[in-house]
Structure 1
């Protein structure tokens, strides 16, 4: 998946190793492409690669161009017309056009800028990489392009030459309460692109065989949340029904900038939760960020359907469609 794309980190390491490197980025394509705009391929000076820009149908030509870019130090825009047969072979219904921007590290893409980008990604700092594909002028932008950042949508600006690559931290879901709903919600969230973490100090609930392969923290929620950290790419879902477990994590989230807070429970249970948060000193506006009862009202019955309603509400909030 795109969230595991480590092409910038790989290209930087290959450059530091003296191999030489270039980054190839999808900047424009047909609507049903196997790799979305912003996807990258790192190409080493010795021909090694990591990542993908097309699913295989144009990689060979991109590698040749990238090696030439490493040699001559100049960026270049590539455009490929993909035939219907080739498109079908990589999972498309029909052919089209794909444009790929190639930047050799060092001569075109400054090493210090790539280092700053890699460091920001490691620190879960959202930023945009802006490049004029005609002149090669480029910069890193923090706090800009709010619509693109919210929608995770890289692309050209209206001038047709300024390309903006969105570098958001991976989405993360923190679930407090290793209950039945969590057993459905966590794998669904992973499919949707979230890194999921479960928190539950109760051994009977946090048993590994109930959540095979998942990350489970058996600390008290306030300690676990402090260890994980909370940011604008984090969603917190509280499922225990137990204020002793839910409230410490909830208070940490209300004091942070997580994009979503959801809490399981009836309307009466939520009213009591609101009273506790008010007594704890939180404002009406802060408390209003809690989605409780959690999930969209779709008439969900059973853990799996409730999980669907939660994930749908999270997506709506993330994309600005649900308040």
Structure 2
């Protein structure tokens, strides 16, 4: 690989931005396509599919064999609320290679005994995010699960501002309507607020904490892989 391409690829990795290195098998020619450039690239459709899957691979385009090396930032999942759903979610998230952080200022809930081997932050979200917890970005998912506006709302505001690929919040439609009013008053527009998945999770009839955790993670994977939601398919 050329030194300039390696430097560019490392720069994208450091900035937590996705990129794809395109290598022509016949002559070894290489070029780097950044995520923001994929839509305008001649191989846009092919590159987009590989970016969504997160997998590298060989493709045939117009009689040429190309190898696509896909570099995608590790996906982070930030959960607000050290609740039963979060406990059930932790081992599932690990199995999906999601880097999980649980934030909850209520130390009675946010205890290592309840969340062994989990990145647990017993602070208010507005203090934790960008402090003890790295800033949110487009390769982060955020799930707000406390039902407490004082805890959930600052985290949701941060996730919307950071354009996280997934933002979800627990609560009924009535609860969400009140949430929408608060976020509107805080200056967020309808398009931004409309990105919040509420009620959270795919509609699988979940009842138990484990089932709700499964529904939330399934919705996160759907958003990550850019697949249509079942009700929109």
TM-score, normalization: structure 1?
A: 0.64
Q: In 2, distance between residues paired with 1:129 and 1:232?
A: 20
Q: How far is the alpha carbon of 1:157 from its aligned partner? A: 4.3
Secondary structure at 2:130 match in 1: helix
Greater Rg by CA: 1
How many residues are matched?
215
Match of 2:19 among 127, 148, 154: 127
Give the corresponding residue for 1:118.
10
Give the corresponding residue for 1:149.
51
Give the corresponding residue for 1:93.
none
Identify the structure with bigger relative contact order (alpha carbons < 8 Å, sequence gap 6+).
Answer: 2
Task: For structure 2, list consecutive stretches of 5 or more residues without a partner in the other structure.
Answer: 39-46
**Partners of 1:157 and 1:164 within 8 A in 2:** no
Q: Does 1:158 align with 2:61?
A: yes
Secondary structure at 1:255 match in 2: helix
- After TM superposition, list the pairs within 5 Å mapping 1:1-323 onto structure 2: 109-142=1-34, 143=36, 144=38, 145-155=47-57, 156-159=59-62, 160-227=64-131, 228-320=134-226, 321-322=228-229
Secondary structure at 2:31 match in 1: strand
Q: How far is the alpha carbon of 1:152 from its aligned partner? A: 1.4
Q: How far is the alpha carbon of 1:126 from its aligned partner? A: 0.9
Structure 1 residue ranges (4+ consecutive) displaced by more than 6 angstroms after TM superposition: none
> How big is each residue's C-alpha offset from its partner over 1:236-287, in whole Å with a ceiling of 9 and x where there is no partner?
0001111011000111111122110010111111111111111111111111
RMSD: 1.5
Q: In 2, distance between residues paired with 1:301 and 1:278?
A: 30
Q: In 2, distance between residues paired with 1:224 and 1:163?
A: 41
Secondary structure at 1:277 match in 2: helix
